[in-house]
Structure 1
């Protein structure tokens, strides 16, 4: 029997989740910001998982820790190391990382295994393995992912502790160049040379703007709107397609556009639309009068007020008849953003011919991820204005010149390759902002990148930023972000990075830790083509083997894409077969002394006669279990921002699930269906309560419950159905869900009589109306009365009808300390009311008051359990708004609880607490 590892027994989950959420707010010097990748796991949580995957749990060493008390003390010491490891500021603490490495050596007989990831993607897992002093192998089929991994774990370690070679860079600072600091310095220096050279060639395309006082200022961005000819033949004006009329929402400096009709004899319609800039509240956009676009229904013409249907816009786009017009030029003057009206000088500077040679490649014909093709934008080059294409192609081509300059300045061929890699990634990163599908963010007067989501949507008004300024997304900003992302890296052995399919890579020796693709959630290869075409232009001669194809290789990509694999069933079969082969290959080479770790996140969303599951989860689990793996532990890790609203009925989760696997023992027994259910009923309730205590969001609880449930299922060689057939994973998942409901329902007995009545009434009517007689019977059975609950403002009882009061309709005069009788139901509903209007700090203050009641009747854990139960009821009944409220409360619970357990501060101090992590 192999020693159990720490991850298979206990983790300081609250600390891990708190720091994982915080990390989402940190962009500067974050390795994940080096280049766009999708669905990356938190660095902090990954570091914790790898450490605990390799370190023995004290219970496995009875020779050193013979008693439970001794084991508990040692486990707390190891948890203390994890709690320090996950703090963002400690990620580069050499002493702490060395301390963690020593613990790993102690548990692996001074010979830690190689960590390999066959789905390395954004490089999080191999990077954190390297940071812990471990040898790492990263593999991915996607060239963009391979390049990201090289940039994070291969190049910084190869050139660690070397000074820069750019002329005079090393002598200008008398210092020690540690880690990748010298390499980062050279990337910034050669990047500055590239920008200067490109500006010399292109500055005539970016004329200064004239301010009201006659002075000049360099534009930061130009704001454009797409246009079409109005579908009304009697009108025929060139009408703007506007998502929003807001340019700035900065308080006290609000600016919006007001479209106006102006005579124009040169236009066939005899008129044109001009844009007045205004700060007048009387003309400000409202919800009903913001843009001219009405979602997917079409657009309203400013001139004739006629409706132009979306199909007409699409047909005009496919005919090449969509244009764009300038709304405003944005400049910076006296450290403030100023919006200038459109003028002919700025318009003419942008209306240039498109370059004859840019980038080649067509977007995938998949409307789930790509909207532009239905509007005629089929090629990736179609997503850029002519001026954006000129800038990007010029900078891309200068990457090759940098290689020559680096070798001329004494750098090796390999070093020149490294510098050009990072600068090509900066150009690729800039393309994420410098395209006609980015958006302007009026709340902060800045552009937002295209890939805010895992798709390329159609955008109607967009910013064209000046690449030669320092605004976010400019070439200067992208070079800085890329260089800062790897500057502090380079610790640990040089990692091995390769391009290979997951099936081939799964045969590597070592211990697998991986984050596989989520069935059909993300079209990695199709989306990364956007970046690939620019990286290929810059680096085709640098990495000929990596950029040998026109677009990203797709045939062997392990994603269930029905467009690529003959429909839904073909996609499912392809994905299922691929996963089984990956886990079978990994099983054949597994080290039985150390568990494998697998990250996954996919909402259960489908049901049939065999139960409820998601195809992604079902396929993943089938692939593992049928390949001989046993699940030994599962942990839900928060991977999204704490205030994020989860959309019920979508696959958007707040948590990812980490599973650990070991090869199933050859002596594993076979049981029947009844035996499995008995085992689940014996083990799941305690596991589910621990999940609830670990701050799992209600929307994630069914996914989190899969882990301990499948741990029971997977320990058996087979589970036999009554007809003798082997039980399918979907059937097992259905049994797990049944026990989850049973556990939540049994928790009703823990609540006070008032809450038990309200739960029973809510399950039947929600916040709707029911009859007095029915309510009275339920109340009497629970030893409470409707009259008392009416007085306590839990419900209203009028004219024979009874109705629970929604959180938003509760009185703001309520004082929890003055209430003669407070139930868990009341506390929960007032917490939701306060949270949704006044935020986390105010909710924490309310909970502090509730917990301070002298009678001690309020139990914070019961309030949270009640939210879990009500979420499950709301979701089952399709009461989406209710479910969102309950889920949001539990998702914010750690922050609320922290405020409640902190001595009261002044309002100013508390505000600082709320936003101290928002970087």
Structure 2
């Protein structure tokens, strides 16, 4: 049965700048309340991007079957498209995440488009205008996409092979709607002083998941109280003594003067108890010097405690005979303190006792033999005016060694894994990543789960909640299930505690802050680490994690009934007749399964009684994980085949099942790019992924570069990323698709790609031009749309063309289109372009420049007179934009090549801003188009040459292009001659 599917907005146009800007902004907003703070996950997509993509793939483009092809004028279609853009611009703003008025407009537009689509397919199965299709993400991961689909009013399904990911998605989309609108059942928390209820006014009402969030606070506080009663003795405070106040407990600074201001001791009284925030330890090994082989010497990467101006503090080791101790000193530290006992990468460390080098081979051998220990270097305490740094005491060190865990995770770490470094130092199980005191704390909180469940259930029944006797896994929604739901969130807080409460977390002197393990998607070795006080009031304490989780819960939609399931993307049947947007694994960038075992071993201890099937195995499933890991598959080639075959099967599953009225959108993180000399950006992972998508039967109808991670100014040219994500827009390929020859493919590229590129770099009334940094990825869309619509493109020998070769041809056409020789550029500009490609801003021989200039129809003397080059002493060099003179007036310049105009415009933009650049452009409207094309070309050239700073200047000119055009219009009639829609 033939389906009529109107083109969706995402297949035609997007306000990409607005989406990218909102995605970047979301990374910088205060994080409390952001769903990402509920539980750590790696490479999670921004909510803004997820929301925008799902909305744009569900609404019809006004210029399609329901647009001017059906009787509307182009102007009417453009106006309607601009209204959708207006919704999108509001929708992606962080402050509008839960703005019901904005969300209602978005939901209404989705519903209207669905009714239009149903009208075109009246009577066909799956096209009920009153029932929106459900959403599915088969690689749900951290859950941003299913969550935003739910926020847009769709019934949302999330599936993943990884149990940690499934748990995150259950917590975000499945559990909240079950208990939406319920008041908390737990006793309100009493304030520390007085009788005021500390949480009574946390919310004005208990709508959505706010009541659930409040119970997480209340029962989290109860668990902390119970844990402190049981193990609080392991986290002792420090008593203020007269010696401490007098400064004798702190050593003198480099000047010999006591520095009480930096020590934070002012205002303290004898007998006062100071709460310890953290204990700072250094790992130790036996000295390799035979004379000191009985001494455990420290492996300290730094002795600096605080590098804040005016608050400097450091650890001073004091050697006494065949032993040593640590003191804490304040004031400006000596240079030697910054390096600790390190001695460079090859030598690794230096023996504190003898000065003998300690290399990594020796350290690894000591670790493997179980002889690596730790010594307390300093204590960080809460003072009246900030941090207080104290020398370690034998009592504090002894108390830490008294901790004897009754349980620890014995699950083995992988022998080899992406970004794992600890195994070679003798850390072979997950339990080895924690100190005994940390293990006691984490297992105590986990062991409190059964008591807490019973308490919550009893309170829920007392509050009048009915009970069906079924738990969450059995679909219950009464008191039993509610008690388990609260535990899911409290277990997430335990995961957060583990991220901070391990022996791979560092202290950060620059901010006097506590660090945590997963600042990156890796498990590196850490030589000096902290033990945080789980009962303190500073970062890393248990109640702080409870607060983060509770705030995140309160922002969840808790609206449409949704579901999270564990299943393999290759065989799942959930996708049937659903809208699909997904963010699959990234080839070999992140080892999700290996990394998430860190959390799994603790979640399993708490949640196995609640989700017995989900947590049945000892570790996260690995064999089926779709990443290309040579250590699992025997070789790099075998890993690539595994990834290609598995991803092809998963993509085929989507192509066969997804709702035919909607394109499928797929994210790919472009993090392995390498710019080649032939032009364009290539990556084994990217090409293999594209190959899988096309083999699965998809054709590409668009690609959108979305900066979901970094600001354009921070993008390194020729490094790991250009745009951080590419969103592929895919439709199933026509079953009757034919094959074409390589020559026909090249002909179609030449005929069709220029128009698509012109739309991208020219922009429209609603859409800014694609920035040069994103053009290579965006242009893949129209290029691959040609390639992928055919069953195959055949080379001259009859073999099918690979994606790699197609990308090379597409990139070549892009380069040809942008090169100045292909346009109507003046001779001076053509000379400058060729000279720049060979020498950049460096000097070159006059004779060579003379020959080149004559070949381009100009002269060296001419380009020098134009003010764009210096010539003298037998050498020639181009002037940088910063060398151009201010006050230049193009109307008074008799020789004004496009090269000169472009760099004067860059100078005006960088030194005076968009208004000044606009005024300059208004004085030379005939050069606007060539300037824009030259800027694109020069960016591409600089990217290929890996000239990052130069490339940035051209990219920023295009990024600001619409603003410059708008400013030029404000200059009067000259601006109106530009002929562009700003």
List per-residue Cα deviations over 1:614-646 (Å, max 9, x = no partner): 332233322222232221122111111316744
Is 2:299 aligned against 1:241?
A: yes
From 68, 84, 93, the equivalent of 1:87 is: 93
Task: Give SS of 1:502's match.
Answer: coil
Is 2:140 aligned against 1:133?
A: no
1:6 paired residue number:
9
List per-residue Cα deviations over 1:828-849 (Å, max 9, x = no partner): 8899999xxxxxxx94745544
Cα shift at 1:804: 5.1
Do 2:698 and 2:732's aligned partners in 1 also have CA atoms closer than 8 Å?
A: yes
Change in CA separation of 1:647 and 1:242 when aligned onto 2, cut-off 3 Å = farther
Query: Within 1, Cα distance between the matches of 2:779 and 2:620?
Result: 37
Cα shift at 1:435: 1.1
Cα shift at 1:238: 3.9
1:205 paired residue number:
234
List per-residue Cα deviations over 1:189-248 (Å, max 9, x = no partner): 111111111112222212223453244321112222222233344565543323333322
List per-residue Cα deviations over 1:125-156 (Å, max 9, x = no partner): 11111101111111001000000000110111
Cα shift at 1:680: 1.2
Cα shift at 1:280: 1.6
Cα shift at 1:495: 0.6
Query: Within 2, Cα distance between the matches of 1:816 and 1:242?
Result: 57
From 527, 542, 546, the equivalent of 2:610 is: 542
Do 1:643 and 1:892's aligned partners in 2 also have CA atoms closer than 8 Å?
A: no
1:916 paired residue number:
none
Q: Which moved more, 1:715-724 or 1:747-756?
A: 747-756
Do 2:713 and 2:952's aligned partners in 1 also have CA atoms closer than 8 Å?
A: no
From 463, 471, 482, the equivalent of 2:549 is: 482
1:619 paired residue number:
688
Query: Within 1, Cα distance between the matches of 2:429 and 2:585?
Result: 26
Cα shift at 1:872: 3.6
Q: Which moved more, 1:208-217 or 1:95-104?
A: 208-217
From 226, 230, 238, the equivalent of 2:287 is: 230
Change in CA separation of 1:300 and 1:625 when aligned onto 2, cut-off 3 Å = same
Q: Which moved more, 1:733-742 or 1:682-691?
A: 682-691
List per-residue Cα deviations over 1:545-595 (Å, max 9, x = no partner): 111110001121111121112221221222111122122222222322211
Residues 747-896 of structure 1 aligned to structure 2 (within 5 Å)? 749=823, 756-779=830-853, 797=871, 799-803=873-877, 815=886, 843=910, 845-846=912-913, 848-853=915-920, 856=923, 868-877=936-945, 879=946, 882-883=947-948, 886-887=951-952, 890=955
List per-residue Cα deviations over 1:744-770 (Å, max 9, x = no partner): 324885777666544322321334442
1:409 paired residue number:
459
Question: Which has the greater radius of gyration?
Answer: 2
From 412, 425, 440, the equivalent of 2:492 is: 425
Change in CA separation of 1:402 and 1:896 when aligned onto 2, cut-off 3 Å = farther
Cα shift at 1:363: 1.5
1:668 paired residue number:
737
Q: TM-score, normalised by structure 1?
A: 0.88
Task: Give SS of 1:66's match.
Answer: coil
From 507, 510, 515, the equivalent of 1:440 is: 507
Is 2:414 aligned against 1:364?
A: yes
From 84, 101, 107, the equivalent of 1:101 is: 107
Do 1:583 and 1:627's aligned partners in 2 also have CA atoms closer than 8 Å?
A: yes
Query: Within 2, Cα distance between the matches of 1:892 and 1:233?
Result: 65
Task: Give SS of 1:58's match.
Answer: coil
1:267 paired residue number:
none
Query: Within 2, Cα distance between the matches of 1:59 and 1:198?
Result: 63
Task: Give SS of 1:505's match.
Answer: coil
Task: Give SS of 2:633's match.
Answer: coil
Cα shift at 1:121: 0.6
Residues 323-472 of structure 1 aligned to structure 2 (within 5 Å)? 323-366=373-416, 368-410=418-460, 412-472=479-539
- Consecutive unaligned residues in structure 1, runs of 5 or more: 265-269, 835-841, 904-919
From 697, 711, 721, the equivalent of 1:652 is: 721
Task: Give SS of 2:164's match.
Answer: helix
1:142 paired residue number:
162
Cα shift at 1:282: 5.2
Query: Within 2, Cα distance between the matches of 1:825 and 1:5?
Result: 40
List per-residue Cα deviations over 1:703-735 (Å, max 9, x = no partner): 333222111111123222222232222221221
From 798, 806, 819, the equivalent of 1:745 is: 819
Query: Within 2, Cα distance between the matches of 1:461 and 1:892?
Result: 46
Q: TM-score, normalised by structure 2?
A: 0.83
Cα shift at 1:865: 5.9
Do 1:631 and 1:661's aligned partners in 2 also have CA atoms closer than 8 Å?
A: yes
Task: Give SS of 2:819's match.
Answer: helix
Do 2:302 and 2:340's aligned partners in 1 also have CA atoms closer than 8 Å?
A: yes
From 45, 48, 69, the equivalent of 2:49 is: 45
Change in CA separation of 1:863 and 1:437 when aligned onto 2, cut-off 3 Å = farther
Query: Within 2, Cα distance between the matches of 1:824 and 1:343?
Result: 72
Is 2:633 aligned against 1:565?
A: yes
- Consecutive unaligned residues in structure 2, runs of 5 or more: 116-128, 190-196, 246-269, 462-478, 969-982
2:208 paired residue number:
179
Task: Give SS of 1:462's match.
Answer: strand
Cα shift at 1:739: 1.4
Q: Which moved more, 1:681-690 or 1:311-320?
A: 681-690
Query: Within 2, Cα distance between the matches of 1:891 and 1:610?
Result: 21
Change in CA separation of 1:381 and 1:48 when aligned onto 2, cut-off 3 Å = same
RMSD: 3.5
Query: Within 1, Cα distance between the matches of 2:457 and 2:174?
Result: 20
Cα shift at 1:101: 1.1
Query: Within 2, Cα distance between the matches of 1:751 and 1:56?
Result: 40
Residues 589-604 of structure 1 aligned to structure 2 (within 5 Å)? 589-602=657-670, 603-604=672-673
Query: Within 2, Cα distance between the matches of 1:538 and 1:899?
Result: 58
Query: Within 2, Cα distance between the matches of 1:528 and 1:362?
Result: 13
List per-residue Cα deviations over 1:294-315 (Å, max 9, x = no partner): 2465123444444322212221
Query: Within 1, Cα distance between the matches of 2:865 and 2:318?
Result: 60
- Count of aligned pairs: 882
Q: Which moved more, 1:637-646 or 1:164-173?
A: 164-173
